[in-house]
Chain A
Amino acid sequence: MIRSHHLPLMVTLATFVLAYALCGMQYPSMFSTRVVANLLTDNAFLGIVAVGMTFVILSGGIDLSVGSVIAFSGVFLAVILRDTAIHPLAAFVLVLCITTAFGASMGALIHYLEMPPFIVTLAGMFLARGAAYVLSTDSVPIDHAFYDVLKDIYWKAPSGGRFRLIGGLMIVTFVVAGLVLHRTRFGQNVYALGGGAATARLMGVPLAGTTIGIYAVSGGLAGLAGIVFSLYTSAGYSLATVGVELDAIAAVVIGGTLLSGGYGFVAGTFFGILIMGLIQTYIVFDGSLSSWWTKIVIGGLLFAFILLQKGLTWATTTRRKTATGFATQS
């Protein structure tokens, strides 16, 4: 029998397989490697940022700043490559350092000031977006030989699909995140924190270090997503990626992670991203549907998965109650 906390993941997987099969029946070309490759490439930055969001939500928090951090990273890269002779790789490292430090300081504020993550990361959102505006309000093109080299790295599947570097980077991020969450002490601490801060403290989980680490991971991955986004668009624009944090949260929830924290898998987030990408691809294939249907369908899916989680939580707590009831009787 499937254990109840695996059920949301299974439902996500089944939703994806079913949706993909239905799409494929209507448009057989949806099964081509081109579509699969584009699904990975187009959603690479969203996937990477959703991994960071998975960490945050597993710990019972939320990070609203990621969209702005992506925009900031893009603008920062564009401006620094335009104005200085620094090599893009060094600029990448610089961006990752800045965004990780930014995330870590938000985590520190959340822990030491005991303020809700919601409002602290809201301030972070304004700050990062404002910093991007201050750097440049125009869309700054990136024209660097190294960018062309990176963009030309791809593996061409026999039937024509091009699996690009950034899609691969997203998959690597998911695999590494899965290993960190399930095979390291930090990962276990994240789950413990999501299960309840008081319990986690009693278990000896270092709360400060874990909280700061979680938001540093989220910030760092948002920086990585910013690099990927700048490779994807070859430009930095301070108004880009508005509302990406909502897409990332939606992907995590559709992926079966409990929003109150403690339960969930990074693999679920991967399929959540693919489901969202699939909806967009279907709308493109259909041609007559308007793009705003994406938002409505994602909102509906979000609602369905929240209901599913509620139902499961309710079912497990009643079962546990009856179990303890029997225990006290006997």
Chain B
Amino acid sequence: MASTTTSTFRRILPQLVILGCALMLNVLVFPDFFRIEFQNGRLFGNLIDVLNRGAPVALLSIGMTLVIATRGIDLSVGAVMAIAGATAASLVVEGHGWVTALLGALAVGAICGAWNGLLVAILRIQPIVATLVLMVAGRGIAQLITEGTILTFLNPGLIRLGAGTIMGVPTPIILWIVLGAFAAFAVRRTALGLLIESIGVNQASSRLAGINARVLLISVYLVSGLCAALAGVIVAADIKGADANNAGLWLELDAILAVVIGGNSLLGGRFSIVASLLGALIIQSVNSVILLSGMPPEFNLVIKALLILAILVIQSPKVGHAVYMLRAAGPKAFDTRPAPAARPQKEQS
């Protein structure tokens, strides 16, 4: 068991270092960054804010990690967030309780995810195209549910999911940490993670090995839909209203970015949910640096773009190979570090 812990730690070390740097930058621009206070029965502080504001992307990145591990992608999560938020809001406005609203939203998210999964697994449509359908149509469906308005609600139970606290800790933080821990546990303490990776590495051979790829593919998209629905409910509860146009807008890109920062290859295969969650926190910390330093928020996107470029260069199979060759050709031909694990070659398609 100890060796598993060390290997997990080694896997997430780069993400921890980047997160540390981002947090240090925060401290540089705002010395009181780490101060956490307990007021009016809840925790306050910038660090808590980072954890809280990062919740939607963190939740999305759990599902997205699993989808990307199967060599897929889910572009529809932002639209599913809007649909789920609209469903929850319209249910409480009609007078149902918050439990019904939450379950209704989750059910809608599951249906959306299952639809994506059916297109990918049964009809064998490329994931980027299959999920594009719902991405385009989803906001229209959300508009239909809210009838074109921003549905506001005052149901205290539902609002507590987004803006309330449990034992002083904001609810979104607890939700994403519990769900993340559960998902990481489920894939790593059972064979599930291994099976998902095998689909991503080579779907045909995993099927030959007796893995039921169809059921697994549908379930990962279903999980992604569920995560998106929960994120949608949190976002709606936070603003006490469902905005079909803007809820979760472009969050699918942030979620993909979180997964990529987490060091997961977009070409499928090995994945780490913990690293993706750290990726989501890194994105939020960078946002926080920009806000705290008083830099115009316009730079946010430019910095994100540069971040992606840097990661692309590091992740690129060609650069990795060149570094490996340089190290092999150097004076100390073989140092103690093991050779990088064989990366799945990009399939020429």
Contacts and interface: CB of A to CB of B under 8 A. Distances in A.
A120 B148 contact: no
Interface string B320-349: 000000000000000000000000001011
Contact of A299 (B140, B315, B348): B140
7 contacts: A109-B312, A118-B73, A123-B305, A123-B309, A133-B298, A133-B299, A133-B301
Given A118-B73, A123-B308, A292 B349 contact: no
A296 B140 contact: yes
A235 interface: no
Contacts of B163: none
B266 A118 contact: yes
A295 B83 CA distance: 14
Given A113-B312, A253-B129, 17 more contacts: A114-B346, A115-B315, A122-B253, A129-B301, A130-B299, A130-B303, A133-B298, A134-B298, A250-B136, A259-B126, A292-B148, A295-B139, A296-B140, A299-B137, A299-B138, A302-B137, A306-B125
Contacts of B136: 246, 250, 295, 298-299, 302
A150 interface: no
Contacts of B140: 292-296, 299
A123 B45 CA distance: 31
Nearest to A302: B133
Interface of A: 60, 62, 109, 112-116, 118-120, 122-127, 129-131, 133-134, 137, 196-198, 246, 249-250, 253, 259-260, 290, 292-296, 298-300, 302-303, 306-307, 310
B300 interface: yes
Contacts of B317: 114
B135 to A, nearest CB: 7
A198 B137 CA distance: 35
A237 to B, nearest CB: 13
B212 interface: no
Contacts of B143: 290, 292, 295
B298 A115 contact: no
B302 interface: yes
Interface in B264-309: 266-267, 296, 298-306, 308-309
Contacts of B133: 299, 302-303, 306
Contacts of B132: 246, 249-250, 302
B308 A198 contact: no
A310 B122 CA distance: 11
B177 interface: no
B316 A113 contact: yes
Given A122-B308, A130-B305, A295-B140, A112 B318 contact: yes
Given A119-B256, A295-B137, A307-B123, A196 B305 contact: no
What band does the interface of chain B fall in when counting residues whose beta carbon is under 8 Å from A?
35 or more
A310 B266 contact: no
A123 B304 CA distance: 8
A122 B311 CA distance: 13
Q: In the complex, which of the residues A127, A197, A246, A292 has the most CB atoms of chain B within 10 Å of its own CB atom?
A: A292
A198 B302 contact: no
A119 B302 contact: no
Nearest to B302: A130
Contacts of A310: 123-125
A212 to B, nearest CB: 16
B135 A246 contact: yes
A119 B148 contact: no
Contacts of A130: 298-305
Given A196-B348, A293-B140, A62 B315 contact: no
Contact of B266 (A60, A119, A307): A119
A292 to B, nearest CB: 4
A60 B126 contact: no
A258 to B, nearest CB: 10
Contacts of B301: 126-127, 129-130, 133
A124 to B, nearest CB: 7
Nearest to B244: A292
Nearest to B245: A292
A119 B308 contact: yes
Contacts of B235: none
B134 A299 contact: yes
A247 B61 CA distance: 26
